[in-house]
Amino acid sequence: GITRHYKFEIKLQNVTRLCHTKSIVTVNGKFPGPRIVAREGDRVLVKVVNHVQNNITLHWHGIRQLQSGWADGPAYITQCPMQTGQSYVYNFTITGQRGTLFWHAHISWLRSTLYGPIVILPKRNSSYPFAKPYKEVPIIFGEWWNADPEAVINQALQTGGGPNVSDAYTINGLPGPLYNCSAKDTFKLKVKPGKTYLLRLINAALNDELFFNIANHTFTVVDVDAVYVKPLDTDTLVIAPGQTTNVLLKTKPHFPNATFLMAARPYLTGLGTFDNSTTAGILEYEPSDSSLSINSSIKKLQLFKPVLPVLNDTSFVANFTNRLRSLATAEFPANVPQTVDKQFFFTVGLGTSPCPQNQTCQGPNGTKFSASVNNVSFAMPTTALLQAHFLGQANGVYTTDFPTNPPLHFNYTGTPPNNTLVTNGTKVVVLPFNTSVELVMQDTSILGAESHPLHLHGFNFFVVGQGFGNFDPNKDPANFNLVDPVERNTVGVPSGGWVAIRFFADNPGVWFMHCHLEVHTSWGLKMAWVVMDGKLPNQKLPPPPFDLPKC
């Protein structure tokens, strides 16, 4: 591979959406941020300079960071943030991955405006396991707040209640014509008839899983989370925050001047007030009729509006995710752990914690909203865990007693169980190098059923099973797929159900795992794994780079 250099200047930029202009934190003044393009095997150096008042870290979501944990980026997990005027070079090599990932800020809610695509092309002289597409197009979904998202989450944390929802979903930063005052801010994809386009879809939204489709068209899914999958035909996709999906879109043979709406809106299972609005863009066939303004083409479009599943269509989501399979060929094998060294059972979900004295809290029954894994709500440390681990100075920073199982036997009945007590702590699980791990995650649904897209840093894992209701350790493992399960970095723990994953802990360092719904992360649905060094030199965490920011 070659080395690719990028320079990311973090600076403020005025941006207008929904007729509302505000100053937002950007990379190089761009929103969404710049695209990183590399081939599998390349080294990527991103020099980040922080010119804003906020503390900043960036994360290269889904990049395995083999032996480069110092470049992973979650604040206070692998690094202290860059303060105003500071810079840091993220230095990593892309190994064994090809497809689409994305980068985003990994501190507070700054990823609402700091995000952009990572396009990983196949190695030089190797090709896709499908016909070469005519064109490739990144499509990144996001959310837009007229308010400052930092103020939104800070206020929610202070009052103990839920944060305000965003004002719009966006496609490549643009809300689209179904929102007021937004027709001119519409993503338009011009296509030629009879061609195959590779759409690189990324869900960078903060708090919602999304359905996506294009009127009168179908997709073939070929890659998720930068791993090839067996081609899967569908007219609608579901994509959770943190997930990426490459699809082939075949355009129709003869369709001059036609325009079709593409649309995305949330899949909602949870509690609270949600925004069920829809972001839309336009697929336009060439030669285009330039006499049509976007407004008149929307009118003309009524026939070509997509039909999305209903907001709470959990069975669509389960069917879609159940059908995804690894390619599992000789060239792209699925290295599924066939035996397990260590088993974990984690309950994940929302809960409440007592309201501090002399405060009134807006959570359920006057409590504070919180969220936890095995009833531990993760407390952010004030120094980075990876440094503490590397220097052998865990004392006072974290403890290694993260529970392997929930504190009380968990039984999901659809009504609140009695073990909702949340404790706060900075607890981790320590794994010897190359442990074969099986982790079952069960949604507790204490405050109403809710799907949680769980993201693991530093690894891909295999999704060997999933189901509704209680996981049954005596029956369910018999049905695990150990042949061609989908391999990914973010998986939805189904609402009122469970998911089982397996992976080899072959990457030394400290690795964050959290719900990629940002509000749940803020409430504590997060934990960390410490993977010890192996014996061989290429199984050890190298020392930190000289420019690693200090706390």
Pairing mode, if any, of strands 452-456 and 509-515?
antiparallel
Residue nearer to ligand C2O on the CB measure, 106 or 452: 106
Cβ atoms of residues 501 and 462 within 8 Å: yes
Shortest Å distance, C-beta 395 to ligand C2O:
26
Residues 6+ apart with CB under 8 A from 35: 116, 117, 118, 119, 138
Shortest Å distance, C-beta 77 to ligand C2O:
8
Shortest Å distance, C-beta 130 to ligand C2O:
27
Residue nearer to ligand C2O on the CB measure, 8 or 512: 512
Residue nearer to ligand C2O on the CB measure, 325 or 520: 520
Shortest Å distance, C-beta 104 to ligand C2O:
6
Shortest Å distance, C-beta 512 to ligand C2O:
5
Sheet holding 168-171, edge to edge: 168-171, 135-144, 196-203, 244-250, 219-224, 227-234
Residue 374 CA neighbour count, 13 Å, CB half: 20
> What tokens appear for 441 in the block?
């995650």
Cβ atoms of residues 265 and 211 within 8 Å: yes
How many whole angstroms separate alpha carbon 236 and alpha carbon 468?
Answer: 22
How many whole angstroms separate alpha carbon 136 and alpha carbon 419?
Answer: 49
Residue nearer to ligand C2O on the CB measure, 75 or 178: 75
Residue nearer to ligand C2O on the CB measure, 32 or 242: 242
Residue nearer to ligand C2O on the CB measure, 189 or 528: 528
- Three-class secondary structure of residue 190 per DSSP: strand
Cβ-closest residue to ligand C2O?
61
Residue nearer to ligand C2O on the CB measure, 61 or 502: 61
Residue nearer to ligand C2O on the CB measure, 265 or 455: 455
Shortest Å distance, C-beta 61 to ligand C2O:
4
**Residues of this chain that bind ligand C2O (CB under 6 A):** 59, 61, 74, 104, 106, 242, 455, 457, 512, 514, 516
Shortest Å distance, C-beta 366 to ligand C2O:
31
Residue nearer to ligand C2O on the CB measure, 77 or 336: 77
Shortest Å distance, C-beta 158 to ligand C2O:
23
Read off φ and ψ for residue 180, nearest 5 degrees. Answer: -60, 140
Cβ atoms of residues 380 and 428 within 8 Å: no
Residue nearer to ligand C2O on the CB measure, 502 or 520: 520
How many whole angstroms separate alpha carbon 501 and alpha carbon 488?
Answer: 10
* Dihedral class, residue 112 (left if φ above 0, else alpha if ψ from -120 to 50, else beta): alpha
How many whole angstroms separate alpha carbon 43 and alpha carbon 95?
Answer: 9
Residue nearer to ligand C2O on the CB measure, 98 or 516: 516
b vs e for 19-36, b when ≥16 Cβ sit within 10 Å of the residue's Cβ? eeebebbbbeeebbbbbb
Shortest Å distance, C-beta 78 to ligand C2O:
10
Residue nearer to ligand C2O on the CB measure, 115 or 471: 115
Shortest Å distance, C-beta 278 to ligand C2O:
24
What is the radius of gyration, based on Cα positions, of the chain? 23
- Beta-ladder partners of 326: 229
Residue nearer to ligand C2O on the CB measure, 389 or 457: 457
> What tokens appear for 306 in the block?
């997509």
Shortest Å distance, C-beta 385 to ligand C2O:
13
Give the Cβ contact number of residue 52 at 10 Å.
Answer: 18
Shortest Å distance, C-beta 522 to ligand C2O:
12
Shortest Å distance, C-beta 511 to ligand C2O:
10
Strand stretches in 71-153, DSSP E: 87-93, 99-105, 115-121, 135-144
Cβ atoms of residues 346 and 440 within 8 Å: yes
**Dihedral sign for Cα atoms in the order 80, 385, 408, 413:** positive
CA nearest 373: which of 465, 456, 460?
456
In whole angstroms, how far apart are CA 542 and each of 65, 67, 474, 536? 12, 7, 42, 12
Alpha helices in 117-191 (DSSP H): 149-159
